[in-house]
A and B are shown apart, each in its own frame.
Chain A
Amino acid sequence: MSNLNQDVSLEQEIQAADNKNKVWKWLFISSAAFMISWILFPIYLLIVSALSSAEVVNGWPKAFVPEFDMETLQFFMNYYGVLGALKNSLIAAVFTMVISIGLGTPAGYALARFEFRGKETFRMMILLTRAFPMPLLALPLAVIFINVGLDDTLFGLSLVHAALALPFAVLITSSLFLGIPVELEEAAWVLGCNRWQAFMKVVMPLALPGLTASAVFAFVISWNEVFAAAVLTINNQTLTAFLVQSLSSSPAEVKFAGGLILIMPAILFLFVVRKYLFSMWGIANR
């Protein structure tokens, strides 16, 4: 009899635990759904609006499915200066990528592999560079750039963008190298490599996916940056700077088209490298 009672109470307990699990599951799913729509809904609106004709964009009710009217996009692409700005954005982003990976990789390697005086301070300083808001830096930088003749050049702008991207490049690559056991390098040294050969033959292939991801990250940082671009370039405007200035007076549908063009590369790149971004932040399965 008492045995039976125990069974019943056990069952109740299991039931209760089950219910609790269900509540948690429901909470988890709904908050995940909320966060996803937080990100996706504006993007969705942007796409719908960019691919609709002017009447639909300005009219009400809004269409739920875009009518795939390419007119606005076409108009936007042919808008005077857009193509040039697009090219400038690309060039600046590639420069930024090269500079921040070129400088960030050795710095990250040093942080990961060497003990040196002031290492922790150095790590902090890297983060501190992000403590100064761009609006604060942009004007003094503009003055300096004018003095050294870097004003209104894509290279100058890339330097600023690289300064923004470098902290990430350094920290990401350093955690990347930390994740590669030092014994692999040591094994390579013993088997006949010098430091450089071991790096190229063993560390590099293993770090490459992560390095690519952090390169893309640098690219996106530059591509998306507005403020410095708007202040530091006049004739060589990047797409963001161009849009900020020329589109403030344009009709809504053209703004949407511009917005879409702006976010596409970022979304595409992040999509392509998402696996590596996850793995270098230690989220996903390795």
Chain B
Amino acid sequence: MTTISIENVKKSFGDAHILKSVSLDIKHQEFTVLLGPSGCGKSTLLRIIAGLETQDTGVIKIGDRTVSHLPPKERNVAMVFQNYAVFPHMTVFENIAFGLRMKKAPEQKIKENVERTATLMHIDHLLHRYSGQLSGGQRQRVAVARALAVEPDVLLMDEPLSNLDALLRLQMRAELKAVLEASKTTTVYVTHDQVEAMSLADRIAVMNAGRIDQYDLPDEIYNNPATEYVGSFIGNPPMNFISPTFQRGDIPEGATQLGIRPEDFDVSTEAREDYWPITILTRERLGSHQQLSAELNGQLFRVNIANEIDVSSGNTLYLKPKDDKKRWYSESGKIIL
């Protein structure tokens, strides 16, 4: 059973508190994505799991082994770096074999594993090349094959796709998903790209300035953001947060903000009871639907509506948030259940 348990990990660089008490329990064979904006401490957390940084306080366990103070090589993890870190003075074969050679695996096993992972990553025809003779995408494949070849307990990836161009990234994303689903290795994957996170993850941990705001299934993260921050980070456009002073009906105790996704409104072109009259500021046609920026009592928000509704900027439209989609947030930005 390869679980990862992170308890109260804190890390500062000088005066900067980068990780402020992070706790996370990652389940056996799950693919966890650490998602958050640049600089929120994702890489730092990943490097602490790998042993490349040491936490100031807190405990890291892999399985039931406490690894908090073990050097990287004793943690049985593998890591894929953003810039691939393929050794330039070794052939692709030697790169992939490197970890097994360090573990003094028998030659037969080395050969088998290298060939298996190279075939898996579609680089079996490149085994005798050097990294200088490879494209960025091919180097990426070598880096993943090298990580898989050692059959690690835990696979760690730090924005592995972010240096690829857009098209290649989509293709690699799909391939990675298939490969990792098959390998069933417990994986922690860092990205700032919410689409990547939603598409790859079994479970997403949303990080916000050194804390984990929510750790949950992708659908839960989307439908029930635990904090205003999560709601406004995920979704394109993100969740609307509206002060509910004009909202009729019951407002839960302590709620100061109503969170509602742009697609979760009932729309009417005529005034109706309980519908908000909104003024349309801009309208964008996006093919599958149209997106409106609208205003109500000085509050701005976005709405997605069906193509059939014919409106233009300056018009008034009547909206009612769907009751089962409303989420309420307290003064401190936390969801009220």
Contacts and interface: CB of A to CB of B under 8 A. Distances in A.
Interface of A: 181, 183-184, 186-194, 197, 202, 205-206
A184 B87 contact: yes
8 contacts: A183-B82, A186-B52, A187-B79, A187-B85, A189-B52, A191-B99, A192-B99, A202-B87
B73 A190 contact: yes
B122 to A, nearest CB: 21
B85 A181 contact: yes
B286 interface: no
B71 A189 contact: yes
A183 B83 contact: yes
A186 B85 contact: yes
A193 B87 contact: no
A6 B121 CA distance: 58
A186 B81 contact: yes
A194 B71 contact: yes
Contacts, number: 56
Given A184-B87, A192-B102, 7 more contacts: A187-B85, A190-B50, A191-B99, A191-B150, A194-B71, A194-B73, A205-B89
Contacts of B51: 189-190
A206 B89 contact: yes
B98 interface: yes
Contacts of A193: 73, 102
Interface string B308-334: 000000000000000000000000000
Given A186-B52, A197-B102, A191 B85 contact: no
Given A188-B98, A189-B52, A191-B78, A183 B73 contact: no
A202 B95 CA distance: 11
B77 interface: yes
Contacts of A194: 71, 73
B158 to A, nearest CB: 9
A193 B51 CA distance: 13
Nearest to A191: B99
A206 B130 CA distance: 13
A190 B87 contact: no
Contacts of B150: 191-192
Contacts of B89: 202, 205-206
